[in-house]
Structure 1
Amino acid sequence: MRRITMTNSMKIALVTGSSRGLGKNTALALAKKGVAIIVTYNRSLNEAKNVVSTIEEMGGQAVAIQLDSSDTKTFDGFVEKLKQSLQDKWQSEQFDFLVNNAGIGVYAPFAETTEEDFDRLMNIQVKGVFFLTQKLLPLIADGGRIVNLSSGLARFTLPGYSAYASMKGAIEVLTRYLAKELGSRQITVNVVAPGAIETDFAGGSVRDNPEINKFIASQTALGRVGVPDDIGGAIASLLSEDNRWVNAQRIEVSGGQSI
């Protein structure tokens, strides 16, 4: 395993929902570039610990903090734990990169989408992102970066995702407003929109259902379905110094799906 070389100018990234899936992959991709990682998890403590251990085995640095991104009432407590972790682990009062990745998926035709489904999505995908970012603003260093996660479904349409895709559309608009309002602090804000990826998202349907996988591959210019490594690396690249002038952009990482 290639070991990481840490430097005095080491950056610190907070990746929400990084105990599994695309968040985990993003955390590992950033760690490989020498970025220290704050892993957040909701219920998967052991999985979060495994991510931290993997990063430490590479020679990197990481901590894990519990976060329920659906409950804004818990955010003050999370921020206090974050402040303590920053001080204890890195003797710092701020971090550099925020990746708003935590989320869930709900598959239901429009006519069958319940208010409960809608509210669950809204609380995590929109309200949680909005107010958690707001709470974290004093802790994000000037010149820092924010990446929000959207979805290819905000551009192309597949029946059954009207509520989910609508939430992601809201995040894309929010991203532009954040970029405008945080520009005076030299903080860039962009959105990454993955296409269909082989993960456990939505019950693992893309990964585990051969017919769905084959169909999506047939609709993708590169002829296959995406894998987590396709996304984590893209986010890590976007957060590199080479992309410091990219701001207020929607970057779809889909291999050319439904074009």
Structure 2
Amino acid sequence: MKPNPTPSIQRIIWIRLMPIAFALVVFCQCLLNPAIQSVANPAEDATSPLGFLALFAGGGTTNSAAFQVSGQLKDTNGNFISGATLSVFTGSISAKNIPVSTSTSTNATGRFLLNLSTGTTKITVTSSAGSALGNFNLVVSEDSVSQTTDSNSQFNVSGVEKHELSATVTFPDDSAPSLISSVPANGDISVPFSGSDVIFTLIFSKDMKPDTISGSTITISGGSVSVNAISSKIYVVTIASLFSKQSYALTLSNGIKDLNGNSLPTTAINFMTAMAL
């Protein structure tokens, strides 16, 4: 009688291990396959077809910033747009138009600073009151930056510049100076004479350009004006040829400028002279 054919223990073990060994080989090949890697990490290989499919599905990441870009927003009348929110979107290979960064806001003089990647970036502007003001595009390359504004936007973009990421960007001082004090004060109805003259002391909010403050930028009807600088902020104005008990307006024109070239808004000091002694 022939013995029953019984598989050896070694053969049984080998049969059971074969599927596990095959799975390990396939797994290792997948890890080393560039196409599979492009799906697992599409940001590193966004040019592969599978990587693009992963981005399309939302698995990709946005581009890294390449430069800082600064600029300024003004309304159609030339006024600074302060406190506006700039929502930033990129025209990258992402089919979902994922924001490159969240948002930024303009400062008191409409200045903004963004970290952007190269390529075209769409920016939506919302006013501080929440109103939509329109859109503009920034086109950043290794050599330059340019911008285009949608025709229906309620603002203009100016002063666009590109900076290295490592640079410290300082905005110029765009704020207008103001007259913070005059002695005698605006509205005084009994301004005294000093001899035959009336003397005003003017104090400005910022350091002023002395050559812009003179009898040609500070005027009064019926009188003559001379100016002496006490400091870069304090000026003494002497007015001759005025009559007593008369109303006058001393006018400071926008030709008066601070050291950065910002103009003083036209300002009037209304007063009445006292009785001459």
> What's the TM-score bracket when you normalise by the shorter of the two chains?
under 0.3
More helix per residue: 1
Q: Which structure would you say has the larger RCO, counting Cα contacts within 8 Å and 6 or more residues apart?
A: 1
Q: Which one has the largest radius of gyration? A: 2
More strand per residue: 2
Q: TM-score, normalised by structure 2?
A: 0.22
